[in-house]
Chain A
């Protein structure tokens, strides 16, 4: 990185932190600190909800997924607009009317303390671990590519955010989310535009889409119903709906965002704004990855984007095998380049036969290149068994560093930090509010003053910040980070959602049945995942259905007394 990049990075991050602190001075009560005094307008709520969900992983992994796997990942978000509508109709009015701080408070009102504490505990476990991953995921990539020390990068990633989260609470988080979303949108838009501009003369945006289509990267919709397929229309609509409903309805990092709305209407509008914008936003992020893929059809692509691993391979006893793979890669790249140029010529002359021939060569060389990459990955693993071989996370950043102009590089690194800060800040805040409201205030210090709880909230934020950074320091390689976080979420969200579904819709089931159903279901979900019985997205639906059906059976057999025993 040049001095310009460093300046842009430091100025952007400092600006965000200072702005957050200045705009949020004067939190005098727990209500102010945890819910911003329920004073925020809908666009604050909407952008805050979006910034919380879009972590750094979104901007590192998603373009990489677009590059390697095409656009099909967009289907993962199809359940989100439906979930926003359901939340607006059911969850939002109830949470607002009960004037609660956390979603889990509602469960005590409906069931008992045990169910509330169990659900809050599942949330704290899941969110604490996944926030650690959210810190580690971008940190490992930045440290590998830029040569930064991983421990310091983790510390920086998780630490900057603590400054304004501890001092300013939710208001600071919400104000910084606005800035973070502005930086992210501008920088990603510019990156996409420059990628198209860097294509050879005569190759425009539409030509690029055609090349991507011929190479199988515009695979937006898969209509086939296959429970083992990770991303298709049905898993996105059904599995995605359950995942998003659980995430937005029962994860305090999101509930805490829309509870800041000044009224039920403002909270609803914020969520519906997310419902309208999320799918197009995710489409555009993936499209940037697809455009990077097209760019590399005309330019030499590295065999492996994580250069540190290939450099190490060059100096190992596998160097000669790697060299053979490199030569094969170069020959295939040259063949592919010819095919792409032939495709472009055929497109311009409307030569359908030429398009088909070039398309076939393009797909064949693409498959052969994937084979070479697999061989190189195996060599890297042999050379270094703990190497990070998931190249998806490195593709976009490598492209940014190799081809984009100085200044924009700094801005895109700032995007990664900003996105990371946005989601981590919400996570710290939600972990602190659940700890204070559902554990400290409910079980430890029931008669404290507002100042006590405000103080405890600040200390809880610091404590969780340290915990999450510690998790990040010990995190190992978990494949694609965006998937790792979603898998971890899917293990817990379904069960938590099931508890809320029973609470909202099945009034005849009581606390005891729900409590034991949640425990049994969680065990079954974890077993299903360990035995690899189905694609992870379905675990959300399975967990939810298990809780509802087991609780219903238990209520009718073992706990046949009053539902509110």
Chain B
């Protein structure tokens, strides 16, 4: 799927790892937003 890892920052091992970070961040944001909403209403 993501054939080579050139151009990646040194602390990221592969493109797949970076894609997982982006999607994981979204999931975390949605959870945080939900908790924030519940806490404030």
A interface residue numbers (CB < 8 A to B)? 42, 71, 74, 78, 81-82, 84-85, 88-89, 209-210, 212-214, 216, 218-221, 233, 263-266, 268-269, 272, 275-276, 279-280, 283
A81 in contact with B37 (CB, 8 Å): no
Closest 7 CB pairs between A and B? A265-B7, A213-B40, A220-B33, A81-B26, A218-B40, A220-B37, A275-B22
How many residue-residue contacts, CB under 8 A, span A and B?
Answer: 73
Q: Given A89-B1, A280-B29, are A218 and B18 also a contact pair (CB < 8 Å)?
A: no
Contacts A81-B22, A219-B37 known; A264 to B7 CB distance under 8 Å? yes
Are B7 and A266 touching (Cβ within 8 A)?
A: yes
**Known pairs A81-B25, A212-B40 / 7 extra A-B pairs, C-beta < 8 Å:** A81-B22, A89-B19, A213-B39, A265-B8, A275-B22, A276-B22, A283-B33
Contact of A263 among B6, B15, B26 (CB under 8 A): B6
Asked if B7 and A78 make an inter-chain contact with CB atoms under 8 angstroms apart, the answer reads no
User: Can you list 27 contacts pairing A with B, beta carbon distance less than 8 Å?
Assistant: A71-B33, A81-B23, A81-B25, A88-B19, A89-B1, A89-B19, A209-B36, A210-B40, A212-B40, A213-B41, A214-B40, A214-B41, A218-B40, A220-B33, A221-B30, A233-B30, A263-B6, A264-B7, A265-B7, A266-B7, A268-B7, A269-B8, A272-B18, A276-B22, A276-B25, A280-B29, A283-B29
CB distance from B23 to the nearest CB of A (A): 6
Smallest beta-carbon distance B12→chain A, Å: 10
Residues on A with beta carbons closer than 8 Å to the beta carbon of B30? 78, 221, 233
Q: Nearest-CB distance from B14 to chain A (Å)? A: 12
Is B10 an interface position by the 8 A CB rule?
no
Tell me the bound Cα distance from A275 to B36 in angstroms.
22
Bound Cα distance A214, B39 (Å) = 10
The closest CB in chain B to the CB of A93 belongs to B3
**What residues on A are CB-neighbors of B18 within 8 Å?**
272
Output the residue of A81, A210, A214, A272 with the most chain B CB within 10 A: A81
A516–B1 Cα distance when bound, in Å, is 32
Q: Is residue B34 contacting chain A, with contact meaning CB distance below 8 A?
A: yes
> How many Å lie between the Cα of A265 and that of B37 in the bound state?
37
| Given A89-B1, A213-B40, A276-B25, A263:B19 Cβ within 8 A | no
A275–B2 Cα distance when bound, in Å, is 18
A72 — nearest CB in chain B belongs to which residue?
B37
| Cβ contacts under 8 Å, B33 to chain A | 71, 74, 220-221, 283
Across the interface, name the chain B residue whose C-beta is closest to A271: B22
Q: Out of A71, A88, A279, name the residue touching B29 (CB < 8 Å).
A: A279
Our pick among B1, B15, B34, B37 for the contact of A268 (Cβ within 8 Å) is B15
Which residues of A sit under 8 angstroms from B29, Cβ to Cβ? 279-280, 283
A233-B30, A263-B6 known; A218 and B23 CB under 8 Å? no
Q: Which residues of A contact B8 (CB under 8 A)?
A: 265, 269
The minimal Cβ–Cβ distance linking A65 to chain B, given in whole angstroms, is 16
Q: Which B residues are CB-close (under 8 A) to A275?
A: 22, 26
Tell me the smallest distance from the CB of B25 to a CB of chain A, in Å.
6
- Distance to closest chain B CB from A207 (angstroms): 11
Please indicate the chain A residues that have their CB under 8 angstroms from the CB of B19 in the complex: 85, 88-89, 272
A234 to B21, CA, bound (A): 21
Alpha-carbon distance between A268 and B34 when the two chains are bound, in angstroms:
30
The answer to whether A85 touches B22, judged by C-beta atoms less than 8 angstroms apart, is yes
Residues B37 and A216 in contact, CB atoms below 8 Å apart: no
Cβ contacts under 8 Å, A276 to chain B: 21-22, 25
Measured CB to CB, the closest approach of chain A to B27, in angstroms, equals 9
CB neighbours (8 Å) of A218 from chain B are 36-37, 40-41
Is there an interface contact between B22 and A272, defined as CB atoms closer than 8 Å? yes
The distance in angstroms between the C-alpha atoms of A82 and B39, with both chains bound, is 27
User: A82 and B26 in contact (CB under 8 A), knowing A88-B15, A209-B40?
Assistant: yes
Q: Please give, as numbers and ranges, the residues of chain A lying within 8 Å of B36 by CB-CB distance.
A: 209, 218, 220
CB-CB under 8 A from A210, the residues of chain B are: 40
**A269 CA / B1 CA spacing, docked (Å):** 16
Which of B1, B18, B26, B36 is the most central at the interface, judged by chain A CB atoms within 10 Å of its CB? B26
